[in-house]
Amino acid sequence: MSSVRKSNVGSNLDARRRLPSVDRLLNAPPVAALAEHVSHDVLVDVARGVLAAARQEASSDAPPPLEHLASRIVAQVERILAPSLRRVINATGIVLHTNLGRAPLSVATQRAMAAAATGYSNLEYDLSAGERGSRHVHVETLLTRLTGAEAALVVNNNAAALLLVLAALAAGREVIVSRGQAVEIGGGFRIPDVLRQSGARLVDVGTTNRTRLADYADAITTATALLLRVHTSNFRVVGFTESVPLPALVRLGHERAVAVADDLGSGCLLDTARFGLGGELQEPRPQDSVAAGADVICFSGDKLLGGPQAGLIVGRREPLAALRRHPLVRALRPDKVTIAGLVATLQHYQRGEAERALPVWQMIGAGQEDLSQRAQRWAAVIARQSRTLEVSVRDAESAIGGGSLPGVTLPTAVVSLRPRQRTVEDIAAALRRVTPPVIGRIERKALLLDPRTVLPGDEPALLAAITAL
């Protein structure tokens, strides 16, 4: 037994000695061709790693062929060069899918952002005066015109907007919030945590399901800086409930000389009742909060607004001036590409074309008959070309997502794929590996593909990926 072990060790050592050098690997044609696309240092590191793995794997007197080692280097370099952030096809039916980047952008918005990225711009330069200007002017006029607010400001997302509002207007003082609105949204983002980070102190009033105006009034003291209303965003409380309408909260604030801030979360400039989403389902709008008299209103740019990620703040001139003076503004400011995209998005609303131009509203406004026709067309193509999938079309529900219109669904038609041999998880994983990846949703051992969230230009790639299975 001992002699056999020694013989194996000797064979392994011999195999390791016969492995090619790093220089020889780098000169192999497939590896040498990579020198135009990746730095020499990266190639050396990858080659050394491949050789180290080959030494560990050596089990005979025949080392891996040079071509095999070279192909492993090429494969690893391709993985290194491939971007981790990739465009995907969203067939989940969730319009504002947070994990998939929320709102897809309009063609005009894409062009504006690309133009801003390709060269210099007057981001902070006043062309008429020939001197330094402010990046916020590009968006402020649009926002004030669309919402009726006296002033506006933009930061990099709505969490940043709320943090800035609290830090600038309530640091070291108290902020009164209904207990039912001290919410947690995606990623563990909690209103009480934001309050603590801003330096403000939370005073929660009422109960989880019922808060009255008297609860706010009784909690106001000389230390109170703000009355804060928070949109519950990703859930609804139904049944035995009561909350204070914003106009009543504003009247109380003005009577007691306390500012009122309204965190709307999503930010919807259109009347959702036009899409059959009225009454209790209706999403609050910034312009309604301005009309109700709220001092500061903040909302997102990449949800129902349909633009790039941003935090938009509108309201009265005095509190907005305090926000502009706060040191956090510089840390939270958006870049030129975001501002360009936001301007282009807001211009759709100014022109009255948001429903036609913005993908978010195109998707929400899509009728079930049109969706059914698309699903039937997909199913026919897939059924003709695939013998490994059971294909059918059935009615289902799409979701808005992104913390907007919680609990609201839209009727849709989906293509249902049931594999005859593999599992549905295998099929879903295979579609995530194609280019571009296709993301569906799994229900009752079937993969569902919802045409509501698939952009028309993505249909050929989606069908090709499925039939290739």
CA distance 105 to 400: 16
Q: How far apart are CA 300 and CA 317, in angstroms?
A: 20
For 357, the token pair is 């131009």
pLDDT, tens digit, 9 for 90 and up, residues 70-94: 899 888 888 888 888 899 999 999 9
Q: Give the per-residue pLDDT at 23.
A: 87
Residues 93-130: tens digit of each pLDDT: 999 998 999 999 999 999 999 999 999 999 999 999 99
| Dihedral pair phi/psi, residue 189, rounded to 5° | -75, 115
Which DSSP letter does residue 87 get?
Answer: -
What's the chain's Rg over C-alpha atoms?
Answer: 29
For 100, other C-beta atoms within 10 Å of its C-beta total 17
Strands (E), 363-437: 389-399, 409-419
pLDDT digits 0-9 by tens, 379-405: 999 998 888 889 999 999 998 886 666
Strands 189-190 and 184-185: antiparallel
Amino acid 92 reads T
Q: What value does the mean pLDDT take over residues 124-145?
A: 93
Mean residue pLDDT across the chain: 88
- CA distance linking residue 265 with residue 151, whole number of Å: 19
**What is the model's pLDDT at position 387?**
81
Q: Please report how many Cα atoms fall inside a 13 Å half-sphere around the Cα of residue 210, on the Cβ side.
A: 4
265-321, pLDDT tens digit by residue? Answer: 888 999 888 887 755 667 889 999 999 999 999 999 999 999 999 999 999 999 999
Residue 38 has pLDDT above 70, yes or no: yes
Predicted confidence (pLDDT) per residue in 236-253, tens digit? 666 667 888 999 999 999
User: At 50, which helix (H) or strand (E)?
Assistant: helix 40-57
CA-based nearest residue to 38, from 76, 83, 81: 81
- SS3 at position 298: strand
Spatial distance between the Cα atoms of 67 and 60, rounded to a whole number of angstroms: 18
**pLDDT tier, 3 (very low <50, low <70, confident <90, very high otherwise):** very low
Predicted local distance difference test score (pLDDT) of residue 31: 87
60 neighbors 54 (Cβ within 8 angstroms): no
- Which is higher by pLDDT, 337 or 20? 337
**Nearest to residue 301, comparing CAs of 257, 245, 348?**
348
